[in-house]
Amino acid sequence: MRGSTSVERPGTGLGPEFQILDDNLHPDASEGVNGNRTTASLYDLITAENLSEGDAHRRMRPPGQWNRLQIVVQGGHVEHWLNNPKMMEYDRHSQIFHNLVAKSKYNTYTNFAQAPAGHILLQDHGNEVHFRSIKIRAL
C-alpha cells in the first residue's frame, strides 16, 4: 500500500536486507516463500540464484570460513554478489519491486527502500556472526 502511514518507530533502521545466515542450520532459511530468506536473497522478497553460472548453487563457505559479499547499488539498480558470482539483481524503482513490497510484510512502511541515501546496518538475531574488511565506496 504505497502512501500508507508508516508504523516504523523513529530511530529504527529498516530497509532492503541482504540475508546472511547458515542456510543449513538456521530455522529462518526454511521460512518465507521459495527460499527468499536464504543467504544472498533480498530478505523476504526475492530468492537468490546464481545468475553468473545459471544454477541455484550459492558457493557458500561453511561456518568458520569467510564469505565475500558485495552489494552494488547504482540509482535504483541493486546487485547481490556472493563469493564472486552474481546472485541476484533488481530495480528498487520498478513496478515489479513495488508489487513485491505491496504483498509483503513491508507494505505498511511508506516508500520502503526508496530513500536515495541512508545508513548501512549490520543485524543479527543473537547468533554468533563476524564481519571484517567492510568497505564502502562511491561508484
For residue 107, the domain's CATH number is 2.60.120.560
User: Which residue in 55, 78, 59, 77 sits closest to 67, CA to CA?
Assistant: 59
In a domain, 138, yes or no: no
Total domain count, the chain: 1
Whole-model pTM: value is 0.86
In a domain, 17, yes or no: yes
Domain with 20 in it = 1-52+64-123
Q: Report pLDDT digits (tens) over 37-71.
A: 999 999 999 999 999 988 777 788 988 899 999 99
In a domain, 139, yes or no: no
In a domain, 57, yes or no: no
